[in-house]
Structure 1
Amino acid sequence: MTDHLQPHLDLALRHARSGMTVTPIPRLEIGVGQTTSGTSPCLYRSMICFILQGSKDVTIHDNLLRYDAEQYLVSALDLPLSGQIHDAGHGRPYVAVSLVLDPALLAQIASTMPLIRDADAPGSGIAINPMTPPLRDTLLRLLALLDTPSDVPVLAPMVERELLYRLLQGPQGRLLRHIARPEGALGRIRRAVEWIRENHNTRLRIEALCEASGMSRASLHRHFVALTGLSPIQYQKQIRLQEARQLLLSGERTASDVAFAVGYESASQFSREYLRQFGAPPVRDVRQLRQAVGSPAMH
């Protein structure tokens, strides 16, 4: 961690507990944890992630991306990935701040900026870029509002707009502009992803997915794989398993009940795929997670 981020870190640790903390600032969360052993499946939402301490490895398209406090990450859509967090050593935890993106707000801000004609589709749904002093300063003012919660309703939207403005000006401005454009390839794939998430427990119908996205079968498959690293069917399986894990963690439902709830027709197939995905059978995996400190889905 650089000294520039010490004030950010102090604020984050003052207002966060171990695991994931939802803050009073809309869509802003703080993750705190220790090094995880090996990579673990996680779901990245459409968001910006700023690491304040430690680092993280993320795998997409079989490519390993590593980022730390010197960079920020942009995720353009909900992405099931494999990740591993690394703390800063000597008992100092991994600390990160994530802001879920609001496409309507991005579009509103982008409409006030000079028109830039981008190529039709970005090459990937995730990107990492260097942190800049203006971004650090704006992020600090956003985090500082946690000390004065009465200021959040008025000032947080203003600071969020500035933060998004800075990001739109940066290297990932193109990717963020695509998020704000529902008619582009990324906007169409975001609609396909939304359809899969809303219908993850039913059989995937490519025709319905084409209709939801407004794309041909060939175009849908090409752009979906390019942006997510997965085919639509693989994506649905990842979402089902992530949802199953959360259901198992949140209640006393049996693995069989959860299997059928997320759309599996066979409990044995569910157990096999769960083991392949998370490295342990459902019951043992959930028991280990409950005993562990921190959160396996941390950004």
Structure 2
Amino acid sequence: MASPVERTLNIDQLTHIVSRFAEVQGDHCSVLPQLSFHSRMSPTDSTHCIYNLGVGMILQGQKQVVIGDQVYHCHAGQSMLTTIDLPVTSHIVHASTQKPFLAVLLLLDLQMVNQVVADMPVVDSPTADLPQHSFSVESVDTPLIDAFLRLVKVLDEPMMLTHLAPLIQKEIIVRVLNGPHGAYLRQLVKSGSTNQKIHQVVNWLKHNYVQPIRMDDLAEKAFMSPSTFRQHFRAVTGMSPLQYQKQLRLQEARHLMFNQNVDAGRAAGLVGYESASQFSREYSRLFGESPQRDVQRMRQSL
């Protein structure tokens, strides 16, 4: 068993290497598409985005993540697991130029997760069939830190990257499954589990959010009654199906206006709104300002 001193040394070493890849504030992709580094030099306003299937580790600083009605405080030395694509609101709480917020994120391959679980012994627990929330925050253990450290180090070995990176990624999945996040990740891939059924509905919503949705139709896709489906969807995602769809629509509209210069009225129609006034009201409620003022503010902050 690793000592607290070894854990601290590994975190310090990983922090040093990540700082080299993220010298400038921002989100930095690596040559390994699934691996990215995130740096902020000061506290930030709330940002809205989609968290995908992946495991992240905070090395310095602190952030707050809001999913539906749940608020998570994420500190240095903690890991975060997301098992289903989630609309979230987050902001950096602690960061400075002397000690920036630093985090590393590894997106997980669902097929690889399925393969690893299939090769591992079945784990029975009293909560095995209960729906699990799709976001969890836990203290990171030394073996997981060590695996991330080796994955980041191999970026400096281009000739070895294609051979070693998949092996280390697989090891990270094994360690997540056998650590405090394990129950959450197992539920995602367990055949017939509540989380797997909700995951399938979420995937459908992601590709069809423009369409009007009927609760009975979504419940049928999950092989549940409408009341059971609503209850389980909220337990897994932290929000109702309609709230989930609304966040997908509004975030896509914001992307269209900011990145493609689409005006608010057209963006509303493209994401499925029939009423421009309803779109403006719901946009202002989520982002805190009207569509025009919000996009203007984002452009001025560049």
Give the paired residue count. Answer: 293
Amino acid at match of 2:82: S
Q: Does 1:179 align with 2:188?
A: yes
Superposition pairs of residues 141-156 of structure 1, within 5 angstroms: 141-156=150-165
Cα distance 1:144–1:223, how it changes in 2: closer, same or farther (>3 A)?
Answer: same
- Alignment check: 8 A CA contact 1:200 1:263 kept: yes
Amino acid at match of 2:104: V
Distance in 2, matches of 1:31 and 1:13, equals 9
Matching residue of 1:296: none
Distance in 2, matches of 1:219 and 1:103, equals 26
Matching residue of 1:291: 300
Pick which of 85-94 and 64-73 moved more.
85-94
Matching residue of 1:226: 235
Amino acid at match of 2:69: D
Q: Report the Cα offset of residue 81 of structure 1.
A: 2.1
Q: Report the Cα offset of residue 105 of structure 1.
A: 1.1
Report SS of the residue matched to 2:73: strand
Q: Report the Cα offset of residue 146 of structure 1.
A: 2.0
| TM-score, length of structure 1 as denominator length | 0.90
Q: Does 1:5 align with 2:36?
A: no
State which of 58, 69, 91 in structure 2 corresponds to 1:51. Answer: 58
Amino acid at match of 1:9: T
Cα distance 1:26–1:186, how it changes in 2: closer, same or farther (>3 A)?
Answer: same
State which of 66, 80, 90 in structure 1 corresponds to 2:73. Answer: 66
- Alignment check: 8 A CA contact 2:79 2:140 kept: yes
Amino acid at match of 1:167: V
Q: Deviations over 1:29-68 (max 9, x none)?
A: 2222244445343322222111122111112353321112
Q: Does 1:98 align with 2:105?
A: yes
Which blocks of at least 5 consecutive residues in structure 2 are unaligned?
A: 1-6
Q: Report the Cα offset of residue 182 of structure 1.
A: 4.2
State which of 248, 251, 259 in structure 1 corresponds to 2:257. Answer: 248
Superposition pairs of residues 12-27 of structure 1, within 5 angstroms: 12-16=18-22, 17-27=24-34
- Alignment check: 8 A CA contact 2:15 2:59 kept: yes
Q: Does 1:263 align with 2:268?
A: no
Cα distance 1:7–1:290, how it changes in 2: closer, same or farther (>3 A)?
Answer: farther
Cα distance 1:88–1:101, how it changes in 2: closer, same or farther (>3 A)?
Answer: same
Cα distance 1:137–1:168, how it changes in 2: closer, same or farther (>3 A)?
Answer: same
- Alignment check: 8 A CA contact 1:248 1:255 kept: yes
Matching residue of 2:4: none
Report SS of the residue matched to 2:87: strand
Moved over 6 A (4+): none
Q: Report the Cα offset of residue 114 of structure 1.
A: 1.8
- Alignment check: 8 A CA contact 2:132 2:184 kept: no
What percentage of residue pairs aligned between the two structures are identical?
Answer: 37
Amino acid at match of 1:252: N
Distance in 2, matches of 1:107 and 1:72, equals 21
- Alignment check: 8 A CA contact 1:57 1:67 kept: yes
Q: Report the Cα offset of residue 143 of structure 1.
A: 0.9
Q: Deviations over 1:137-196 (max 9, x none)?
A: 100111112222332221110000111111111011111111222421000001111111
Pick which of 221-230 and 243-252 moved more.
243-252
State which of 118, 128, 151 in structure 2 corresponds to 1:111. Answer: 118
Amino acid at match of 1:86: V
Q: Deviations over 1:171-222 (max 9, x none)?
A: 1111111122242100000111111111111111223322332332122111
- Alignment check: 8 A CA contact 2:43 2:95 kept: no
Amino acid at match of 1:4: N
Distance in 2, matches of 1:19 and 1:37, equals 12
Report SS of the residue matched to 2:266: helix
Q: Deviations over 1:51-94 (max 9, x none)?
A: 12211111235332111221101112111222211343344322
Q: Does 1:159 align with 2:168?
A: yes
Superposition pairs of residues 26-37 of structure 1, within 5 angstroms: 26-37=33-44
Q: Does 1:279 align with 2:288?
A: yes
Question: Of the two structures, which has the highest relative contact order with CA contacts closer than 8 Å and spacing of 6 or more?
Answer: 1
- Alignment check: 8 A CA contact 1:36 1:84 kept: yes
Which blocks of at least 5 consecutive residues in structure 1 are unaligned?
A: 294-299
- Alignment check: 8 A CA contact 2:50 2:87 kept: yes
Pick which of 99-108 and 234-243 moved more.
99-108
